[in-house]
Structure 1
Amino acid sequence: MSCTRFLYISNSKPESSVISLPVPMDKLRDFNIFDCSISEIKTTRSFMSLFQVRIGNCIGLRELTFLMFAPNLKILYVANIQRIEDIINKEKACGVENSEIVPFQKLNELHLANLPQLKNIYWTPLPFPCLEQIIVEKCPNLRMLPLDSKSGKHGENELIIRYGEKEWIEGVEWKDEATKSRFLSSCQQV
């Protein structure tokens, strides 16, 4: 068993386009990747202890499907990635051995910033039973959030959507009127 609790990757060389996360990282709690030229992150194992993922300024990344293997993830921060199109890619996720995995069951906070090509977080609504906050800034192509009227926390700590640009929230395509009614009134500009 590994005692790795924190993994920080930065300044990878251009020829290192894929990061394969090694198997013995069962104690990994914090995973940070910044200022890299990687194009893909691969893993074949769940990271049961992974609590927080922060990824930024990674030139070649187009998706983060490996996050399906982080069932206890609570904080996800993704910023300044010019080419990312999906958080979880449908084709790659459906090709995974355990494709019935429902991601982000324990996620509390999702922060997406300066992702000009981002189109999808996930292709269908997710329950997000613990999600308290989604922050979206400078993601002009993200038109649909994976929410329905039952998604997220309800009650006192209800899910709040914070956004940077008024044009973005005005262009969001809600799953249905019930979803729009539930979330639009609690949206806040940051």
Structure 2
Amino acid sequence: MWKRQMNVDCSSLENTNVFPKITDLSLSNLPQLRSFYPGAHTSQWPLLEQLQVLDCHKLNVFAFETPTFQQRHGEGNLDMPLFLLPHVAFPNLEELELGLNRDTEIWPEQFPVDSFPRLRVLCVYDYRDILVVIPSFMLQILHNLEKLEVGECSSVKEVFQLEGFDEENQAKRLGRLREIKLDDLPGLTHLWKENSKPGLDLQGLESLEVLDCEKLINLVPSSVSFQNLATLDVQSCGSLRSLISPSVAKSLVKLKTLKIGESDMMEEVVANEGGEATDEITFYKLQHMELLYLPNLTSFSSGGYIFSFPSLEQMLVKECPKMKMFSPRLERIKVGDDEWPCQHDLNTTIHNSFINAHGNVEAEIVELGASSAL
């Protein structure tokens, strides 16, 4: 959608096209499009706030006018990109959506550090050949990113590439990120590599949704802290054997909703890392928990942790046939100001403790061992 229109005499701009009034630009379903303007040129979009490029799979969206680009283009090794940009790119762009562009690359390696200084929302889907969504050279550029959505990218193996930055700089990356949604990434094995130090600062993250990532073997490294995460939803991630480490679980002090479903290999939610029986993990704000269609789930945790759920209102466990106990070494279940000794049978424990003794908690156990509904 074009909010404003203008006329520019391009002949007076020496192969530079300037669009000083355009705030929204959408290019969609243009399979033959190869360039915004014929011939070698650069463009400037000083007020552009929203950019959408969909189903334009014969072109690269971005490139920068560098001596290397000029040489390679002059030799016929590069096609003109949709946007050939000088210096700072899109100084006011806040939302960028790229999709259905098939075999093209997303980012050139020549992005200036001060590009996209206000970008808050990034949506990427249906790119076939990219291995990394946000490479290391983009981390220092997308420092204002708040929302990231990635879907239907069959070759993506990791979302963030962290190699190449020192600890001081890297610790500041993506500090404003609030929401991550990953959907249908069949090649994804991890969000970023476990041995990447010092990792990402995701303490501001409020929502993490991961769907249909069958090869994902590790959700996040144990060094991650989720101090502000309110929603954690993981569905159809068939290679996960556990969801999070005990240290990550202890950081979830603001988690309100936990949903896990259709992850065939998952054996426990909180991994057993040999914790002491006196260790307590409290989900202070957790109100709603779902464990659905987890055929190999044997317990919430097989470790020696005491779990507390002082705000729990709803709990749904469905078709988890191997889950007989909430936690084999669980000493007690604590809800609100009350706590009860943990009995061996999960159905009995939830029924007596969560329902009879704490009326504001709803629990439903369906097809858990012997089928029953509470």
Calculate the TM-score normalised by the size of structure 2: 0.40
The match for 1:161 is: 363
The match for 2:10 is: none
Structure 1 CA distance for aligned equivalents of residues 224 and 334 of structure 2: 27
> Contact conserved, 1:73 with 1:104, CA < 8 A, in 2?
yes
Corresponding residue to 1:24 among 201, 204, 212: 201
- Partner of 1:32, secondary structure, is strand
Q: Which of structures 1 and 2 has the bigger CA Rg?
A: 2
Distance apart, 1:167 and its partner CA: 4.8
Specify every segment of 5 or more residues in structure 2 that has no aligned partner in the other structure, as ranges.
Answer: 1-171, 194-198, 339-356
- Partner of 1:55, secondary structure, is strand
- The within-5 A match list for 1:1-190 is 2-14=175-187, 16-20=188-192, 22-36=199-213, 37-43=215-221, 44-66=223-245, 67-68=248-249, 69-91=251-273, 94=275, 100=279, 102-123=281-302, 124-146=305-327, 151-153=334-336, 158-165=360-367, 167-168=369-370, 188=374
| Count of aligned pairs between the two proteins | 167
CA offsets per residue over residues 64-99 of structure 1, 9 Å max, x none?
A: 1244132221110000111000101112x639xxx9
Structure 1 CA distance for aligned equivalents of residues 208 and 191 of structure 2: 13
Distance apart, 1:102 and its partner CA: 1.3
Structure 1 CA distance for aligned equivalents of residues 296 and 358 of structure 2: 34
The match for 2:9 is: none
Runs of 4+ in 1 over 6 A off after TM superposition: none
Distance apart, 1:62 and its partner CA: 0.7
Out of 56-65 and 141-150, give the one that drifted further: 141-150
The match for 1:173 is: none
More helix by share: 1
Structure 2 CA distance for aligned equivalents of residues 11 and 161 of structure 1: 31
Structure 2 CA distance for aligned equivalents of residues 148 and 109 of structure 1: 22
> Contact conserved, 1:54 with 1:76, CA < 8 A, in 2?
yes
Root-mean-square deviation (CA), in Å?
A: 2.9
> Contact conserved, 2:218 with 2:240, CA < 8 A, in 1?
yes
AA of the residue aligned to 1:83: M
Specify every segment of 5 or more residues in structure 1 that has no aligned partner in the other structure, as ranges.
Answer: 171-186
Calculate the TM-score normalised by the size of structure 1: 0.74
Identity of aligned residues (%): 20
- Partner of 1:126, secondary structure, is strand
AA of the residue aligned to 1:74: K
AA of the residue aligned to 2:192: S
Structure 2 CA distance for aligned equivalents of residues 162 and 125 of structure 1: 22
> Contact conserved, 1:75 with 1:110, CA < 8 A, in 2?
yes
Q: 1:141 to 1:167 in 2, by over 3 A?
A: closer
Structure 1 CA distance for aligned equivalents of residues 224 and 236 of structure 2: 25
Q: 1:141 to 1:70 in 2, by over 3 A?
A: same
CA offsets per residue over residues 151-190 of structure 1, 9 Å max, x none?
A: 22467753332122375466xxxxxxxxxxxxxxxx72xx
CA offsets per residue over residues 102-135 of structure 1, 9 Å max, x none?
A: 1423211110100000011024442211112210
> Contact conserved, 1:84 with 1:118, CA < 8 A, in 2?
yes
User: Larger relative CO (CA 8 A, sep 6+): 1 or 2?
Assistant: 1
AA of the residue aligned to 1:17: T
Q: 1:103 to 1:149 in 2, by over 3 A?
A: closer
Structure 1 CA distance for aligned equivalents of residues 202 and 332 of structure 2: 36
